[in-house]
Structure formats: C-alpha cells, structure tokens
Amino acid sequence: MFQGFKEFITRGNVLDLAVAVVVGAAFSGVIDGLVKGFIMPLIGWLIGAPNFSGIRFSVPNWQGGSTVFPIGLFIQGLIMFLLIAGAIYFFVIVPVRRLSALRKRADEPTVEESLAEDVVLLTEIRDLLRAQAGVRADSQSS
C-alpha cells in the first residue's frame, strides 16, 4: 500500500504539478502587484480612479422589501480579470514567445544552408549511381 503511494508521489507528473502550483501562486503575487501597483494607478491617472463597486440596483421582492444586486462588484472583478490577463499576456507570454522564436532561429539552419546540403548529397548519390551504372555497362560489354 505504501509502495504504491510512494510511486504515485514520486512520479514526474505529480512533482511537476506541485512545482507548477507553487510557482503559480508566487507568480500570482507578482502579477497582482503589477496590476495594483502600476496598471491601476496608470488608469486612475488617465481617466480617474475607476471604482465600480458602488453600482447597484434593487428589485422589489414578494415580501414587500427590495433585493439589492451589487452588479458593480461583478464589473470591478471583470475589469480586474481583464487587466491581469492582459498583464500576463503582454509582460510574460509575448516576451517568452519572442525569446523562443529567437532561440529556434539560432538553432535551425537557414533554408539556403539546408537546401545546399540536400543538393550536395543528391549530387553525390547521382554520381555514385552513374559510376555504378557505368561499371555495370563496362562489365557487360566485355
């Protein structure tokens, strides 16, 4: 029973997942700090401090009172989500993709180099086949 648990825990996928959760939690603090410490003040400087939490409406209920729907909390959460997603995309995803593309370009030979190598190999194969065909033609004629 413990051997199976040990195998499960030491499996690579479980360890990778655990590391990803811990790094993701730490990275969440970085992104949250970026949004709250830079992006939101920048938006506040440009258009004023956006606070939608006060937007609400009330609907009369069947008991004679009214039910309040604080829709501004949803709007505020949606805006924060979009800002966080934008920060992750523009400050993490885009630079990592560019770095990956640069690394890939440096590792792969250019099309001209690979084409030149292909042409050289094909030329060598052609010459060998011609030489073999010439030897066979000479041996058959004698």
For 21-51, the pLDDT digits (tens) are 888 888 888 888 888 888 778 877 877 766 7
Q: What is the pLDDT of residues 40-83, one digit of tens each?
A: 788 778 777 667 778 888 888 888 889 889 888 888 888 888 88
Question: Residue 35's CB: how many other CB atoms inside 10 A?
Answer: 20
Q: Give the homologous superfamily in CATH for domain 2-108.
A: Large-conductance mechanosensitive channel, MscL; domain 1 (1.10.1200.120)
pLDDT tens sequence across 85-109: 888 888 888 998 999 888 887 776 6
Question: Closest by alpha carbon to 80, among 34, 16, 132?
Answer: 34
User: What is the rounded distance in angstroms from the CA atom of residue 140 to the CA atom of residue 85?
Assistant: 76
Domain boundaries, the chain: 2-108, 111-142
Q: Which residue type, as a one-letter code, is found at position 40?
A: M
pLDDT of residue 48: 74
pLDDT per residue as tens digits for the range 119-133? 888 889 999 999 888
Dihedral sign for Cα atoms in the order 134, 135, 139, 140:
negative
